[in-house]
Amino acid sequence: MSELFLELFSEEMPPNLQCYVRETLLQNIKNFLDKEQIKYDGYNNCFSTPNRLVIYFKKIEKEAIRASQEFRGPSVKSSEDAINGFINSNNISKNQIYKKKINNEEFYFYKSPKKKIKTASLLQNEIPEIISRIKWKKSMKWGEYNLYWGRPLKSIMALYENKVLKFKLGHLHSKNITFIDKDYEDKTKSFKNYKSYASFFKKSGILINHNERKKYIENKINQISKSKNLKIHLKDKLLEEVTNIVENPNIILCSFNKQFLDIPQEIVTITIENYQKFFPLYDQNNNLTNYFIVVSDSRDIKGFIKKGNESVIDARLSDADYFWKKNRSQNMLKQISELKKINYFNGLGTYYDKSQRLKKLGGHLSDVFLLSKEKIEVASSICKVDLLSDLVNEFPELQGLLGGYFAEVQGFEKEVSTALKEQYLPTGPNSNTPKKNYSVALCLTDKIDTLVGFFGLGMIPSSSKDPYALRRLTIGLVKIIVQNKKNLKLKEIINYSCQLYNDQSKQFDNKIILPKISIFIIDRLKNLMKEKGIRQDIIESSVLEKNIDKLTSIFSKAEKLNKIIDKQLGKDIIENYKRASNILNSEKDKEDSEILGAADPGLFQNQFEKDLYKKINEIKKNFTSISIETDFQAQLFLLASAKKEVSNFFDNVQVNDEDKILKKNRLQLLDMFCKTFDNYINFTKVDTQ
Amino acid sequence: MVSKKKNKIITFQDTILKLQNYWSQKGCIILQPYDMEVGAGTFHPATTLKSLGPKSWKSAYVQPSRRPSDGRYGENPNRLQHYYQFQVIIKPSPDNIKKLFLESLKSIGIEHQDHDIRFVEDDWESPTLGAAGLGWEVWCDGMEITQFTYFQQMAGIQCNPISVELTYGLERVCMFIQQKKNVYDLIWNKEGLLYKDIHLETEKQFSKYNFEIANSENLLKIFEILENEAKNLIVNKLPLPAYDQCLKASHVFNILDARRAISIAQRAEYILRIRELVKGVGEKYLEINS
């Protein structure tokens, strides 16, 4: 067994490309080794620094074994030419073929001997192929070369059994040397194996292994923040990114001018984290401090690096501070009419039009949510005003939030400013949904208005295209309703929203829009249920009606049923139902007239029929009693409790009575039974598993 | 950053001279700024048009650049609606371009070993020019000082061979070298003239013009006229004068943008219109030059 060691040296590769190419390259080489049945064990991995991509397999078998293989040639009856053709194409002589019978016909065969192939020669041929097969998400050309790579590729080092694997990739020839100074590319050095290579770089502080580098940075950051009695809220994504933009990490504690702590905290953290890739520090009470950590790519011998980075943050924050002071004092109410200048979307009017619609829609919701109509109308009217501000222009990701801050400063009520801050929630799959009623109302009206508008324009997402992210928006809508357990007459709200567009002379037909939006919303509900691990058959059964007025109860019922479906309780319910529905279904079609209406108790012949009838009525009554109307758990218990009556009925009563009237009456009884169950969910498609 | 002694400070004009001198020694033709309002050094025909086609090309020049939306009435220490870029364009991109670049920094007093110089991913795109490239913004101790780009596409046409473009933000570079927190405090020459002496009034007046006074209605008309003029010139196989019209139209668009006279939806449409013109220019230019 011997070591395989490759290094691809390029100009600075962006972090996401590094991650992608690391995984792809390692996997492709493994696939190749597996395909060729070349054994490898021990350690293997792919590492990277911004300039170096390294593949390392500790042990690969030096020879690949090709098992003996039998090839079928032409029939013995074939012409001489055909037989010679078989012999020549396998590069063998006539005495190496033999006859064998298959299905009464005789053929010539040839068995190739077991062979050993040098791994080195296989690697030599295949590695350039594997490398050039990488499918870059984004790649480039440079100079006059024809090679494509993430960034200009400068050299290839390829070693196996401590010797160079000689190949060509575009204009580059593989060697056993690489550049050891990443910037000037003046100095080269030859290496024999990965160990000597890694330790050579380690001496100058360069950690080739990115996992090691990440750990090193994390430890150092923690050490420094602890020594200052400060805390760090380490985000793995940022740490990962920083790891991939340095090779020689050096951790520097810096600070910015304290006066900038008066700016909304999100502006400061975005500036520090997103724009500069630094780490902000917090005090023991998790308040942001003016300290931050910079991970530089070299030692700060003269102190220039610290100073430079500090003044960059100061400059950026002073720019933000300038706008913050300017924008926060611009009266939001007075700016509403300026929203007329900003187009919301072609065909949907300006942001002023939108906020006027939101105001009315919010007013409509105020009754349902028991909100002050005035407050929600104010919130709706000013919620888009921050789009006019310089700060949102600078920090578009903070829209909404900044509006909330402006409102706070200008003395709007807390509910209003919070609603503004939270109006775009949830922003992603892991983001929170709003909980406060004013926020919920504003979030919902905004999303409904958007949805109705785009559906009104016929811009309905297709399976592959959703340029305005309406799916994400609608998942948010469903989540907000379901997680806050809101019972909303969504159809009515959508119709009203449509009406509001019509009032602004946008001719949308709610009869066309509503069914389409309903299906779209129900599909998102299904996604959400799937995400929560609810069984597919339960999901399908719960949404048969496509009733968007009942999103919360559909979701809760399915969730509760899913919890017990595999337990005894669940099995009882399904069995009770299936026994009744099976007979009902098989007999239904044979009946001349439809089975309609309730069973007639006067026709009951025995106690078992009466008991079941009584039970059905008991369930029905309880279902509509206020106490358990929304207690789906209790409803399930109630359904399961019919077990005794159902068993007794089927064990003792012949449904298929000769007397057609009695038979029909019994079928009607079973129909009543099933319909009662279907009040919870349509159980037809739910299975016991 | 360099020596603190006053007589040794590298002035704004020294920086330009040193960079010109350096790149001249490396074989670049030193050109003068294009005599028009442009948004960036890239818009100079010595970059846009010369990056098209197979012929080698090496050039460096200063380009005053205008970004009306970035005006701050002279009140912000970092933002200007008029500023200077130093532009280097080399085709084909040489293998040792990183070294050449780092040495150019040395020539203006930024010693590599004393600073944290980073190549931060920045895939550049100019929708109006129909141009795209891959590369980095170069950070020196956290501050972006240069844009480093390998052009892949220009005027909607694939580049072959590939040019490399270096764009130094001269004010940024100088603020770094002279250790100034405010752009207006930059020392322009050895006699101690400051950046504000030259440009503060310009910033005040142009900010007012761009944001408040510019007559949107007229500008919209001018845009139409320029567009038609460009189209006519392309038809008449005069891509160079046609390109001038594109530059003017682009600047008019930028002022309209600063005036917020163009909605988001319209914005895309205007950009597309300019891009179409530039594309026409590029195609005609190649047709004539091949």
Least Cα distance to B208 among B68, B2, B24, B35 occurs for B68
Q: B6-209: which CATH number, 3.20.20.70, 3.40.50.300, 2.102.10.10, 3.30.930.10?
A: 3.30.930.10
Residue A688 banded pLDDT, cuts 50, 70, 90: low
The arithmetic mean of pLDDT across residues A199-222, rounded, is 96
Q: Enumerate residues 49 to 108 of chain A having a beta carbon within 8 A of any beta carbon in chain B.
A: 50
Share of chain A above pLDDT 90, in %: 66
Is residue B172 pLDDT above 50, yes or no? yes
Residue of B nearest to A343 (CA): B263
Residue A513 banded pLDDT, cuts 50, 70, 90: very high
pLDDT score recorded for residue A585? 83
Segment A368-401, tens digit of pLDDT: 888 999 999 999 999 999 999 989 988 999 999 9
Residue A41 banded pLDDT, cuts 50, 70, 90: confident
Does the ipTM surpass 0.95? no
Least Cα distance to A365 among A378, A356, A376, A350 occurs for A376
The arithmetic mean of pLDDT across residues A498-509, rounded, is 95
Is residue B43 pLDDT above 80, yes or no? yes
The domains located in chain A, with CATH, are 2-64+118-203 (3.30.70), 68-113 (no CATH), 210-328 (no CATH), 333-531 (1.10.3210), 562-685 (1.10.730)
The arithmetic mean of pLDDT across residues A324-347, rounded, is 92
Work out the widest C-alpha separation in chain A, in whole angstroms.
Answer: 105
Q: Which amino acid is at A372?
A: S
Let me know: does A365 contact A376? Beta carbons within 8 Å: yes
Is residue B253 pLDDT above 50, yes or no? yes
Lowest-confidence pick of A188-197, A371-380, A570-579, A629-638: A629-638
pLDDT score recorded for residue A625? 72
Is residue B1 pLDDT above 50, yes or no? no
The arithmetic mean of pLDDT across residues B165-191, rounded, is 95
Q: Which of A183, A296, A318 sits opposite B98 (nearest CB)?
A: A183
pLDDT score recorded for residue A685? 82
Is residue A116 pLDDT above 80, yes or no? yes
Residue with tokens 């309780």: A569
* B142/A313 touch (CB, cutoff 8 Å), yes or no: yes
3-state secondary structure of A74: strand
User: Virtual CA dihedral for A214, A220, A226, A232, nearest 10 degrees?
Assistant: -30
Lowest-confidence pick of A49-58, A595-604, B110-119: A595-604
pLDDT score recorded for residue B4? 47
Indicate the domain borders of chain B.
6-209, 215-288
* Shortest distance, CA A296 to any CA of chain B (angstroms): 6
pLDDT score recorded for residue A689? 60
Mean of per-residue pLDDT scores for chain A: 92
Q: Which of A14, A143, A245 sits opposite B161 (nearest CB)?
A: A143
pLDDT score recorded for residue A442? 97
pLDDT score recorded for residue B5? 47
pLDDT higher at A410 or A429? A410
- The CA–CA distances, whole Å, from B199 to A583, A645, B49, B63 equal 92, 94, 30, 15
Rg from Cα positions in chain A? 36
Let me know: does A251 contact A205? Beta carbons within 8 Å: no
Q: Which CATH number is B215-288 given?
A: 1.20.58.180
pLDDT score recorded for residue A429? 85
Is residue A339 pLDDT above 60, yes or no? yes
Let me know: does A667 contact A595? Beta carbons within 8 Å: yes
* A11/B78 touch (CB, cutoff 8 Å), yes or no: no
User: What ranges make up the beta strands (E) of A526-663?
Assistant: none
Segment A230-253, tens digit of pLDDT: 999 999 999 999 999 999 999 999
**Which among B73, B105, B119 is the top mutation candidate for probing chain A, defined by the most A β-carbons within 10 Å of its own β-carbon?**
B119
* A304/B113 touch (CB, cutoff 8 Å), yes or no: no
CB contacts, 8 Å: A311 with chain B: 143, 181
* A308/B143 touch (CB, cutoff 8 Å), yes or no: yes
Q: Enumerate residues 628 to 657 of chain A having a beta carbon within 8 A of any beta carbon in chain B.
A: none
pLDDT score recorded for residue B223? 96
Residue A137 banded pLDDT, cuts 50, 70, 90: confident
Mean of per-residue pLDDT scores for chain B: 94
The arithmetic mean of pLDDT across residues A482-503, rounded, is 95
Is residue A598 pLDDT above 60, yes or no? yes
* Shortest distance, CA B41 to any CA of chain A (angstroms): 21
pLDDT score recorded for residue A104? 86
Residue B7 banded pLDDT, cuts 50, 70, 90: low
